[in-house]
Amino acid sequence: MNTKELKIAIERIIKIDYGKSLAKAKNYEKYNALSKAIMETIIVNWEETESAYDKGKQAYYLSAEFLMGRALGNNLMNLGIYDEVEEVLKELGIDINEIEEAEEDAGLGNGGLGRLAACFMESAATKNLPLTGYGIRYSYGLFKQSFIDGFQVEEEDDWLKYGDPWSIRREEDTVIVEFADGKVKAVPYDTPIIGYSTKNINKLRLFKAEPLVDFDFKLFNSQKYDEAVKEKNRAEDISRVLYPNDSTEEGKILRLKQQYFFVSAGLNDILKKFKKVHGNNFKEFAKYNAIQLNDTHPVVAIPELMRILTDEEGLLWEDAWNVVVNTFSYTNHTILKEALEEWNVELYERLLPRIYEIIKDIDKIFNEELMEKKYSKEKIHSMRIINEDKIRMAYLAIHGTHVTNGVAKLHTDILKYQELKDWHELYPNRFQNKTNGITPRRWLLLTNRELSKLITELLGNSNWITNLHELKKLEQYIEDPSVLDKLLEIKKANKERLAKYIKEQEGISINPDSLFDIQIKRLHEYKRQLLNAFGILDLYFKLKENPNMDIVPRTFIFGAKAAPGYVRAKAIIKFINEIAKLVNNDSEIKDKIKVVFVENYRVSYAEKLFPAADISEQISTAGKEASGTGNMKFMLNGTPTIGTYDGANVEIVQEAGEENNFIFGARVEEIEKIKDTYNPKEYYETVPGLKRVVDTLIDGTFDDGGNGSFKELHTSLLEGASWHKADNYFILRDFKDYIEAQYRVDKAYRDRRGWAKKALMNISNAGKFSSDRTIEEYAKEIWNIAPKKI
């Protein structure tokens, strides 16, 4: 790149946008100027990529979430200009790290589902695959999290407060979306998705909801000020916040509007492009377009495309249905009932009456098909798409697509042979597995540069960056003490950086020589942060009884957000923060253990946590975690797993060896056998130390602020609740196994080179878990698209 021109561009943009010199600019202004300068250099390639893709078959990824995180560092890395830009900024007296920290996270996602979408977009660009993402440009991300007296407090996540230099508003491609109670504009904003070591630039198109008329002048002039902007506010509410609280009917309506809004806008956009190139030959639509439904949020696309093809384009029902099934495919991300969306018929009927009519017809025809196949009335009733006044979106998705895929082998097997057994028997050829993956560019090359450099040196080239299977060759160094020692040095440096950052952000001092035990993920009961908390308490009580107990000093680090309406999850956060307060202020245990719950866990924080971890906590109840991708990020950064035989953990230990990880707990087969007769009180009464830690919820050890949430947690474990059995996630069953696994971790960690071998075996066998591999499987086996390099 021309460094002289870059300097000129940065100074010019600051003058134009902010009316000041570079010397007076704030860090976020410098960040915006640099980002816009980089955008200027990629526009031509972006246009050429779009033109090249228009000539063949394309795929589209419909997702309610795209958890992109920060863009600058990743884009510079993928363009191959990070070092050059760093040097240019130095010459201008600017620290690139400060500029990167000035960028707000684009937190338009809740967890793994949204981050997976982001990894897929980057991998598709890197592999020159014609994939476009469609979603919502939320004005605010999920939420910013803080802790007040240990309680989670949410506030708005205003990620756009300083602007967004990485997106372009495309007014000319605005789409009108119609609900029963009015119409809104869907205005697209395009973000470039820059692949690694390629000129191809893919596109993420996010829609912002706006009113047809911004402002009613007559009402305003009549001094009806609120009414004058009422329509504007109602429209903008649709794209205001990711996952608005849906505990009331108004909240549910808003969520349904969000889903239909981006789906309808996206489909109309795709159809507009199709018409431009292929005219009205809609029977050929699936030949040129593949659409992936990322979970059930966009499943309303099935009846919406039927509506467009039959009502607007005049296709016969059978022809339209053939197009729909061959165009769409569906990714199932969970077996949890609460996440398999069901919508009340009344809401659909009220808000989307024509869509509801089409779903009724789909259901009716499907039932007739089952009758012809001689299915019993009971079986037909159990498989109905509309059942007891609810629309079952997962069933609609399976019926209305040509492929349903799970996201890890165990998860797919559970879908095929347990949860969706009837559907698999009906459509045996429609089910596939696509084990998730992560992009090695962000999660190793960018976040762990010293390790990346070592890998390149050891392998003699950088081919691993786009072919992660190359890491397998690192196994030749498994007995090389200099390599093992270098791995330990790199881990130590990453831990020191994290310790410094945690001190700055959380005000807590942690010992970088301690074992960093990290659990970072969405807060949900099945992910069992509570089991981790009980384990910490058990260790604490043992240390109180025997202060001279010989353990490796350990720092337990949590990062998680609980959904604002998820009361029990928020109680678990408060409980862990109470444990932290107790442990961290007890001088008697001599800093042998520390507990840190980081505030506002997000992608940019994760980038510092993954490289610094010594042990990765992946302790979900077996059969509940569909895949996980955090487990893959830890593995790639040389961190062994302590975990259950669940999700992608199964494949991780198959690849890296169970001897290089720490597996514990009941497996799916055992849980299936005991789930109907399971009595957690047997464990509560007999497992040493268990009753003591569980009862801290009710014996006054900790304070829940008088809201009764700790008592409710205690009851949920021993008595159950109206919607679930006691200890629904088998925490008490797995407690003893977990403690024993942690003893094995402590013992193994003392052998430093032995631990380095485990780390190296995990790195060497992480190749399978690249999102490049996953996206290529989607391209070949589901979408039937080919790379198109400009």
- 283 given a catalytic annotation: no
Which is catalytic among the residues 127, 137, 522, 733?
A: 522
Is 521 among the residues known to form the active site?
A: yes
User: Which helix (H) or strand (E) segment is 290 a member of?
Assistant: strand 289-294
CA-based diameter of the chain, in Å?
83
* Catalytic annotation, pick one of 49, 447, 629, 774: 629
What are 466's two structure tokens? 């786009």
Burial group, residue 155, by CB count within 10 angstroms (0-12, 13-18, 19+)? exposed
Q: Look up residue 719 and give its amino acid.
A: E
Alpha carbon separation from 651 to 140, 305, 479 (Å, rounded): 36, 37, 24
Residue from 30, 144, 255, 527 carrying the catalytic annotation? 527
From 333, 592, 602, 757, the catalytic residue: 333
61 sits in which H/E element:
strand 58-62
d(CA 691, CA 685): 6
For residues 672 and 623, give the distance between their C-alpha atoms in angstroms, rounded to a whole number.
10
> Choosing from 137, 205, 633, 733, which is the catalytic residue?
633
Contact 115/131 with Cβ under 8 angstroms?
no
Return the HEC string of 188-227: EEEEEEECCCCCCEEEEEEEEEECCCCCCHHHHHCCCHHH
d(CA 750, CA 227): 69
In angstroms, how far is CA 469 from the centroid of its own chain?
A: 24
Query: Which of 548, 558, 553, 538 has its CA nearest to residue 593?
Result: 553
The one-letter amino acid at 259: Q
Which of 144, 441, 521, 574 is catalytic? The answer is 521
758 carries an active-site annotation: no
CA-CA-CA-CA dihedral for 459, 460, 465, 467, to nearest 10: -60
DSSP sequence for 423-486: HHHHSGGGEEE----B-HIIIIIIT-HHHHHHHHHHHTSSGGGT-GGGGGGGGGGTT-HHHHHH
CA–CA separation, 1 and 41 (whole Å): 9
Residue 590: active-site member = no
DSSP 680-715: HHHHHHHSTTHHHHHGGGTSSSS--TTSSHHHHHHH
3-state secondary structure 711-722: HHHHHHHHCCEC
Amino acid letter, 438: I
Per the annotation, the verdict on 629 as an active-site residue is yes
Active site residue 333: yes
- The three-class DSSP label of residue 394 is helix
Q: Which residues are catalytic?
A: 333, 521-522, 527, 629, 633
